[in-house]
Structure 1
């Protein structure tokens, strides 16, 4: 499975679990999930599974832009120039963001979004009023209509999180926007009942311990039951309904010329070139 979905690395253990259940008939139980996590962890320690293949981190840090010396700074600037990428959304008439309920899947979604210069976020922050206000502020600052593409579990908590976030952010935008053109629409990319049926995904009853289950009818399903390539395809379809592909292609055409101009303005630092040639200062 890791080889099959290599281009979507890192995967979460939950994604592996649902592929084993849906495609290979393994037991859909917390006991099997626990066993799988144990074996995956040991296989990573033994280097049988690359560490880069699995994402299970929960650590947050803030970066510091510090440099060893001026030459190190110039080297970093040169590298940035060589990897210059245009913001393909800058010329678009809309602002778009991707939000996902599972933090572990953000990197997968970001890989798709970055092809269009669209950022991906974890919507676990939707429980945070600060995060919702920050999203509304970004939308208002663009002066454009916005689309928030959301992916989450099909269960009472997932639906409630989506509904409440949409209501709060829309209210903030309406209160703070500079003109009537600025508005926000939340789009449910996944998971939906139609997708559960179409992809024959495994379901389970709603948790009785969840207070939101009271008005819920039917089964529930986790987003990670969808295969990584299915998620990528669904997300691409929704993005390309929103963006102007012709404008993006024009921006990409200009990108290479601008990259070359920047690299000419930022020559390789002498000390770096010397070290690469085996010389010393």
Structure 2
């Protein structure tokens, strides 16, 4: 487990299933439900003992809303400075295509954000995006964006559920766009997992569940978490940059930095202070 976390330091936090699949690929474990449960237990003990950092793994079991509060005026002023330092423009401005990313597994979202955030590309979880209001929201964003073409990258399992997620998103968002953003091109592209990736990276597979009778063209199933995190990061970065004009992005970043410095100065902060 330590070697897996060290190998994917740049992609932390990982989900427990990603650690499990990495151990399977390394030949340490066999792909059985009992070994997954053992991995859950071992990772839990490792975190409790302090052997691995709590932040190294992604947890999605807690939903918490914390009221915003300050220790006093100085803390509030420090908050203003942090906010000014985080000032940024729309980094998709001026690009020919607006990009979005949807990931079926919520636990993988932070890894995708780490790749997409420098380009200003939003990432959503499939569980949240699959609701009708969220699908219509995608169409409304397209309409508000001046009918610029939209491309949505999808990361989902290669199984009936993941394939259905992709097709349902594409069909519903396209239908909503026809009403709310007529004339806007909305394209959905499956980034992972694909049959080619399964073959190239020799990903672990499992038979389709007999109880799931939805249409599925594959002969076996594979979870998106089976794809090595660094490979997924490379796939996503390549997909994003292939649709970016880097000169336009560089100009936006230059303006962003200039405005950030002016904002800090207007608030009485030294823009060159560490």
TM-score by length of 2: 0.91
**What are the residue-to-residue correspondences of 1:74-93 with 2, within 5 Å?**
74-93=77-96
Q: Is the 8 A contact 2:163 2:216 kept in 1?
A: no
Asked if the contact 1:148–1:186 (Cα under 8 Å) also holds between the matched residues in 2, the reply is: yes
Q: Distance in 1 between matches of 2:171 and 2:94?
A: 28
Residues 222-281 of structure 1, C-alpha deviation per residue, up to 9 Å, x if partnerless? 11111110000000111112121111112222222222111101125xxxxxxxxxxxxx
Residues 1:140 and 1:68: Cα distance change in structure 2 (over 3 Å): farther
Q: Which residue of 1 aligns with 2:240?
A: 239
Deviates more, 1:101-110 or 1:121-130: 121-130
Matches of 1:215 and 1:82, distance apart in 2:
48
* Residue in structure 1 matched with residue 272 of structure 2 by the alignment: none
Deviation per CA, 1:24-66: give whole Å up to 9, x if none: 3411001000000011011101111100100122223456555
Equivalent-residue separation in structure 1 for 2:218 and 2:10 (angstroms):
36
Pair 1:148-2:160 in alignment: no
1:124-163 aligned at under 5 Å gives the runs: 124-143=127-146, 144-163=148-167
Q: Deviations over 1:114-134 (max 9, x none)?
A: 010111110112441122122
Work out the CA distance in 2 between the residues paired with 1:227 and 1:199. Answer: 9
Q: Where does structure 2 lack aligned partners over 5 or more consecutive residues?
A: 270-274
Per the normalisation by structure 1, the TM-score is: 0.89
Distance 1:137 1:21, change over 3 A: same
Query: Does residue 53 of structure 2 align to residue 50 of structure 1?
Result: yes
Runs of 5+ unmatched residues, structure 1: 269-281
Q: Counterpart in 2 of 1:259?
A: 260
**Number of corresponding residues:** 266
